[in-house]
């Protein structure tokens, strides 16, 4: 098991307000960030990314890319073309995040059916 869970006594399992994970999770644990990192297995242009993320608006994608760039996950490079192009690519840091994200993604796919069932059962009970 991972460090949060292993070999800790009862009283220690808690999340203090200053736990270093909290501001980070706030910034990167959203669905668009996850999808952007997944799609950047190779450098891609802005609209290329946008096309692959069904439903994202231009505004939100821009914000997401900025936040990922600020946190060192991706790099933004302006191409000397006409009209201008912008290429985004993963940094080593961003690359290292793809594995835990991938695990989570795999989990959702694997358990999507069961979750759906549970949800239906719950809604039936409380109706």
The contact set with its own copies (CB under 8 A) reads: 1-5, 10, 13-17, 19-22, 24-26, 28-31, 34-35, 38-39, 41-42, 51-55, 69-72, 93, 96-109, 111-112, 114-115, 117-119, 121-123
What's the rounded Cα separation, in Å, for the pair 116 and 124? 12
Beta-strand relationship, 74-79 and 44-45: unpaired
For residue 96, state whether it binds DNA (rule: CB under 7 A). Answer: no
Single out the residue of 102, 37, 47, 111 nearest to residue 75, CA to CA: 37
The answer to whether the beta carbons of residues 58 and 49 sit under 8 Å apart is: no
| 28 vs 65, beta carbon nearer DNA | 65
Residue with the two structure tokens 């959203």: 30
Minimum CB–partner distance for residue 6 and its own copies (Å): 9
The site for DNA (CB under 7 A) is made up of: 30, 45-48, 55-60, 62-63, 65-66, 76, 83-87
């Amino acid at each position: 098991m991972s460090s949060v869970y292993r070999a800790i006594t009862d009283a220690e399992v808690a999340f203090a307000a200053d736990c270093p994970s909290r501001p980070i999770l706030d910034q990167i644990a959203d669905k668009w960030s996850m999808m952007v990192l997944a799609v950047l297995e190779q450098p891609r242009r802005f609209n290329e990314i946008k096309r692959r993320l069904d439903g994202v608006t231009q505004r939100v994608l821009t914000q997401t890319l900025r936040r990922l760039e600020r946190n060192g996950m991706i790099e933004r490079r302006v191409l000397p073309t006409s009209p201008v192009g912008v290429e985004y690519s993963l940094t080593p840091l961003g690359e290292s995040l793809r594995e835990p994200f991938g695990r989570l993604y795999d989990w959702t796919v694997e358990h999507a059916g069961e979750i759906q069932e549970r949800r239906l059962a719950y809604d039936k009970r409380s109706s």
